[in-house]
Amino acid sequence: MTAPWWQNGVIYQIYPRSFQDTNGDGIGDLRGIERRLDDLVSLGVDAIWISPIYPSPMVDFGYDVADYCAIDPRFGTLADFDDVLMQAHRRGLKVLLDFVPNHTSDQHPWFVESRASRQNQKRDWYIWHDAAADGGPPNNWISDFGDSAWEWDETTGQYYYHAFLKEQPDLNWRHPAVRAAMYDVMRFWFDRGVDGFRIDVLWHMVKAADFPNNPPNPAYRPEMGEMHRLLQLHSTDQPEVHRIAAEMRDIADGYGARGQGERVLIGEIYLPVDRLMHYYGGERPEVHLPFNFQLIDTPWQARALAAVITSYEAALPLGGWPNWVLGNHDRPRVAAKRGQAQARVAAVLLLTLRGTPTLYYGDELGLSDVMIEASQVRDPRELREPGLALGRDPVRTPMPWDDSENAGFTTAHPWLPLNADWPTRNVARMSEEPQSILTLYRRLLALRRNRRALSIGNFVLLNVDDEMLVYERRHGSERLIVALNLGAQSHRLPLPDWGRGSRVLLSTVADAALVEDGALLLGSNEAVVLEAG
Ligand code: NOJ
């Protein structure tokens, strides 16, 4: 049986503001994405997920949507989008959009109506509540960006709830008309041919109906950001969200069932693994891939990683397909967290674990977090809680393509600064360098495409110690060994009998790894893929 594309393929996240500008405004656009499709094909990915491109006041850079069925003029037009889709499909690339169902912009016509009067027929499309007895907010819930999650509306004399900025009011998903309208949005894009959605903050979508206070978080430290003062026990991950996820899945599956191509749903969910697993569905299937963010936060040590991998594998429900993520537009970059040498090891890990990998644009260049001066800060997260290193601008900087003006990203002033090392850390230059991390990514992606064991094979942990993590990937007669050295010492690792005659298919370090007398000699910070001979 052949695996569906979303199981053996690799997803590449594009942050559209920062990918490629073509109209000279310092902001990336859809034509820019179209122009770079061949680069993505030559990189070797299978699908792109584009962060929001809908009309938006951009208070949260597109995660505040003012119209779900159109394109923001900064990014282009619907016709441009159709072109991107057609050109991507021509090249065999799938296209996923970002679906932001939990909240709209406060400029969305639905909210404009909702706040117009208490009698408005869209009043209950959002979450309105009377003040507490003392006139304050209805409960203690805190916005993810700090401060109360309730905003007082003078005109109608009630509070509305916003899990993020006050400019991002939460929709009331308990209302059938909201569900129907949002399901129509999904159909609008599916009918145009999009291959799936990444669903923003899926676990936030339903809140406890009686709005109880959230309990304090005993592990809270101020540097975590104010939202962590409380545990989001009642404001997220409510049982009713699963019905919604199942209804979304029904819509997606309808297309496959009608022979119109399998569509995929990926849920953004930051929850412990046991809770995360529920989003695969129970009696009814839910999202295909609840994002697994564990590699971002796990200490970069062999034993810790092995524990995460094996416990995640063990927790998967029957038929649940795994997935792995190293970075995204909200979290520090892998190169910043792990350093350049280990960013290469991380690339091997991401692309050789069982499950669908999602690669964040720029990570294939080893792009690090870019220092943003106070005067250049754009991210509302940083502006609201400055100095805690919670800001996301450093990971959203322009893609450096070549060594021409502004790294080929724009002819204008880029909306965020480029990485200082762009004259050398850019796609054109690194494509020429046999030892660059970009070349490593290309080789890994090609290897993954050629060896089914790497994408859909079984995973077996072979060995773990203080610095080494070694596993097998197996599919039919294809047996591969992946060995990662997370430390600065070199190691000699005896290979299992069946692997004694292995040969090195790929290494992160030039000419270092060696198989000799049935043992693998692995250099410091080196990761290798071996094929049993
Ligand atoms: C999650 C998105 O990834 C993040 O960028 C955004 O700020 C919040 N959701 C609110 O939409």
Q: What is the DSSP string of 40-65?
A: HHHHT--EEEEPP-S----TTTTSS-
Single residue among 391, 415, 445 that ends a domain in this structure: 445
The dihedral region occupied by 192, where left means phi > 0, alpha psi between -120 and 50, and beta the remainder, is: alpha
Distance between Cα 200 and ligand 1 center (Å): 7
How much is the pLDDT for 513? 67
Helix (H), strand (E) at residue 128? strand 128-129
Residue 268 lies in a domain: yes
Atom number of ligand 1 nearest to Cα 381: 7
How much is the pLDDT for 514? 86
Helix (H), strand (E) at residue 337? helix 334-352
First to last CA, the chain: 26
Single residue among 417, 445, 473 that ends a domain in this structure: 445
364 & 491 share domain: no
How much is the pLDDT for 533? 80
15 & 138 share domain: no
Residue 210 lies in a domain: yes
* Range of the structural domain that residue 215 is part of: 5-102+176-445
Position 510 confidence tier, pLDDT thresholds 50, 70, 90: confident
User: Distance (Å, rounded) from C-alpha 430 to C-alpha 438?
Assistant: 6
Q: What is the pLDDT of residues 69-81, one digit of tens each?
A: 999 999 999 999 9
263 & 328 share domain: yes
405 & 520 share domain: no
241 & 139 share domain: no
Give nearest CA residue, ligand 1 atom 5: 330
272 & 370 share domain: yes
Residue 182 has pLDDT above 80, yes or no: yes
Residue 1 has pLDDT above 90, yes or no: no
Give nearest CA residue, ligand 1 atom 6: 63
Task: Provide the percentage of residues in the chain whose pLDDT is more than 70.
Answer: 99
Residue 122 lies in a domain: yes
Residue 298 has pLDDT above 70, yes or no: yes
Helix (H), strand (E) at residue 528? strand 527-531
How much is the pLDDT for 353? 98
Mean pLDDT score, 419-440: 98
334-352 and 437-450 helices cross at what angle (nearest 10)? 20
Which residues are tagged catalytic? 200, 262
Position 150 confidence tier, pLDDT thresholds 50, 70, 90: very high
Residue 170 lies in a domain: no
| Longest distance between any two alpha carbons in the chain, whole Å | 81
How much is the pLDDT for 107? 98
Q: 170 CB contacts (<8 Å, ≥6 apart)?
A: 102, 103, 126, 127, 160, 161, 162, 163, 204, 207
User: Distance (Å, rounded) from C-alpha 25 to C-alpha 58?
Assistant: 15
Q: What is the pLDDT of residues 95-109, one digit of tens each?
A: 999 999 999 999 999
Residue 420 lies in a domain: yes
Residue 92 has pLDDT above 80, yes or no: yes
Residue 306 has pLDDT above 90, yes or no: yes
What is the token pair recorded at 188? 């609008």
Which residue bears the tokens 């296209």? 95
125 & 258 share domain: no
Mean pLDDT score, 196-220: 98
251 & 216 share domain: yes
The residue ranges of DSSP E strands in 202-281, in sequence order, are 264-267
Q: What is the pLDDT of residues 470-480, one digit of tens each?
A: 999 999 999 99
Average pLDDT, the chain: 97
Mean pLDDT score, 439-462: 97
Distance between Cα 201 and ligand 1 center (Å): 7
Residue 21 has pLDDT above 80, yes or no: yes
Helix (H), strand (E) at residue 432? helix 427-432
Residue 452 lies in a domain: no
Atom number of ligand 1 nearest to Cα 145: 7
153 & 262 share domain: no
Distance between Cα 371 and ligand 1 center (Å): 21
- Going from the C-alpha of 300 to that of each of 224, 296, 335, 338, 364, the distances in angstroms are 20, 9, 12, 7, 19
Domain count, the chain: 3
How much is the pLDDT for 411? 98
How much is the pLDDT for 495? 95
Give nearest CA residue, ligand 1 atom 11: 63
Residue 168 lies in a domain: no
Ligand 1 pocket at CB < 6 A: 60, 63, 100, 164, 200-201, 268, 329-330
500 & 525 share domain: yes
Closest CA to 481 of 348, 301, 296: 348
Closest CA to 135 of 163, 162, 159, 165: 159
Single residue among 445, 480, 504 that ends a domain in this structure: 445
Atom number of ligand 1 nearest to Cα 164: 10
pTM: 0.98
Cite the DSSP H helix spans in 193-301: 241-257, 273-276, 294-297
Distance between Cα 54 and ligand 1 center (Å): 14
